[in-house]
Amino acid sequence: MKLLRYGPAGAEKPGLFANDGTIRDLSAYVRDIDGFALSDASLAMLAGIDWEKLPVVQGNPRLGPCVARPVNYVCIGLNYADHAAETGNPIPKEPIIFLKSLSAFNGPNDDVKLPRGSVKLDWEVELGVVIGKLARYVPENEAMDHVAGYCVCNDVSERDFQTNRGGTWDKGKGCETFGPTGPWMVTKDEVSDPQDLPLWTEVNGKRYQDGSTQTMIFGVRALVSYVSHFITLYPGDVIATGTPPGVGAGIKPEPVFLKEGDVMRLGIEGLGIQTQRIVAG
């Protein structure tokens, strides 16, 4: 299934992206695409619905983040060997964890705001893992039992804020609108191997990132387990698992950074496509 949320920001309704390309309303069955809806029992119930009998959502509504605002939006840094190489960093011995501010949580096609004083705004397409069951000290061999599905994430980053303004990475990762998530969450039964997914980013029609989750240093199973030993993960939480090479900061001979009016388009095979325009913050 492809579960989504549609409607004005703050008033989204639950929906299903159906096989005929329409959005179908799920309001009669779940209140939102939240932790309750992502439980095994709820997903099994939703999977049993005849989608052709669900009401069709008319028009072209805004898509919100594909899950309701989580308790934790966890990000993993430098998790692709080829991306670590382009940044000149060594391969991490353990996953690098940071949290993205929930004020960054954004719809997949909403505008991204250029922060005041920004000079190095950058893109990062990432595989998002959506948690379906409480995860605390989970062993690796049980980690996938806690996964509800997958989505596209854009870990928008301001590199000057991230590296030159003191402290940890959070200043460059948590600005408003820096977390486009969606367009939908694809349940894990429809993703045969999360470690074999092509993912890419285009800016103004030019492809910069063109990678594969095959080059992840720490895979989904390892990450869910590892994170759960430091942060209790709740149903509906998201783990953004790192980005492949081709970010603006890594382009040679001169880095490329986003400016007002630029358009990002990014996607993961089978998980959908996002599009965002850069606007003044």
Q: Any bridge partners for residue 14, and if so which?
A: 5
Q: Beta-carbon neighbour count of residue 147 at 10 Å? A: 22
pLDDT exceeds 80 at position 87: no
Full-model pTM: 0.96
Beta-sheet pairing, 206-212 with 23-25: unpaired
pLDDT for the residue numbered 215:
95
In this predicted model, which residue has the larger pLDDT, 90 or 238? 238
Q: Mean of the pLDDT values across residues 258-267?
A: 98
The overall average pLDDT reported for the chain is 96
Question: Lowest mean pLDDT: which of 88-92, 175-179, 231-235, 257-261?
Answer: 88-92
pLDDT for the residue numbered 103:
95
pLDDT for the residue numbered 89:
80
Give the span between the Cα atoms of 149 and 190, in whole angstroms: 9
Give the span between the Cα atoms of 77 and 64, in whole angstroms: 25
The token pair that represents 91 in the structure block: 């391969």
pLDDT band at 82; cut points 50, 70, 90: confident
Domain with CATH 3.90.850.10 in the chain: 73-280
Residue 168: is it exposed, middle or buried by C-beta count within 10 angstroms (0-12/13-18/19+)? exposed
The token pair that represents 198 in the structure block: 């092509």
Helix, coil or strand: residue 224: helix
Question: Taking CA 12 as the corner, what is the angle to CA 280 and CA 178, rounded to the nearest 5 degrees?
Answer: 30
pLDDT for the residue numbered 88:
80
pLDDT exceeds 80 at position 257: yes
In this predicted model, which residue has the larger pLDDT, 21 or 90? 21
Q: What is the pLDDT of residues 48-72, one digit of tens each?
A: 999 999 999 999 999 999 999 999 9
Q: Mean of the pLDDT values across residues 113-135?
A: 97
pLDDT band at 41; cut points 50, 70, 90: very high
* 199 neighbors 269 (Cβ within 8 angstroms): yes
Give the span between the Cα atoms of 32 and 4, in whole angstroms: 9
Give the span between the Cα atoms of 266 and 199, in whole angstroms: 8
Homologous superfamily, domain 73-280: Fumarylacetoacetase-like, C-terminal domain (3.90.850.10)
Q: Tally DSSP H helices, then E strands, for the chain.
A: 5, 18
Q: Mean of the pLDDT values across residues 240-267?
A: 96
pLDDT exceeds 90 at position 166: no
Q: Mean of the pLDDT values across residues 167-177?
A: 90
